[in-house]
A and B are shown apart, each in its own frame.
Chain A
């Protein structure tokens, strides 16, 4: 069974930093593209970033480019998102998402999410 467990969320002041982690199990982590998607309270889904199977390709939404960094450690079956220069508008539940199938970057299976609150 595919399991994705996010951690690292919490309350941070504007301008601060936070690192999210996503522990994967139940599949061959190194064979799948991974994504981060966020959802502000009461709002819709917004794609944030993606990374290919070995970390050589990364893509970001314009709203986070230059502030967020995605990477992965395949040996630890873990995906990360480093978030710097956080803004109030970054407040959201952040979901870790696996590609639909082997080698595909299309967005498929979701973790339960971790809440990030940016507030003074």
Chain B
């Protein structure tokens, strides 16, 4: 199972909106509404930000939203803040009943 494709890096200014893409196939992202997103800061465990494409767990800022179109899922961070810096990974359930993560995207607030 190949990793889902994400851009290596995305940057934005405080207050701006950025979008991270996550491209897979019809056997994973496109086939199921089971895409999730995680934020990871250096030396820390990942934190769940979005699950089932667009659901936000309690405690996660409303500035984080998710969507999907075809084989590509997206995470949008609006009103970008310095605390949003970190690495972001998408993850999808697959047709072989396994899970596959994305390649990861480093978000920088400039």
Contact = CB atoms under 8 A, between A and B. Distances in A.
- A complexed with B: yes
A47 interface: yes
Interface string B90-109: 01010001111111100000
Contacts of A28: none
Given A46-B101, A47-B99, A61-B98, A106 B38 contact: no
A106 B98 contact: no
Given A100-B48, A113-B45, A59 B91 contact: no
Contacts of B93: 105-106
Nearest to A63: B1
Contacts, number: 57
B47 A110 contact: yes
A47 B45 contact: no
B36 A44 contact: no
A44 B99 contact: no
A45 B47 CA distance: 12
B64 interface: no
A62 B99 CA distance: 11
Given A44-B101, A59-B97, A106 B45 contact: no
B52 interface: yes
Given A45-B38, A95-B46, A107-B36, A35 B99 contact: yes
Nearest to B47: A110
A106 B36 contact: yes
Contacts of A107: 36, 48, 91, 99
Interface in B1-57: 1, 3, 34, 36, 38, 40, 45-48, 51-52, 57
A85 to B, nearest CB: 20
Contacts of B47: 110
Given A59-B97, A62-B1, A100-B36, A44 B48 contact: no
B88 to A, nearest CB: 11
Please give me the 3 A-B residue pairs with the lowest Cβ-Cβ distance, nearest first.
Answer: A47-B99, A110-B45, A45-B101
Interface of B: 1, 3, 34, 36, 38, 40, 45-48, 51-52, 57, 89, 91, 93, 97-104
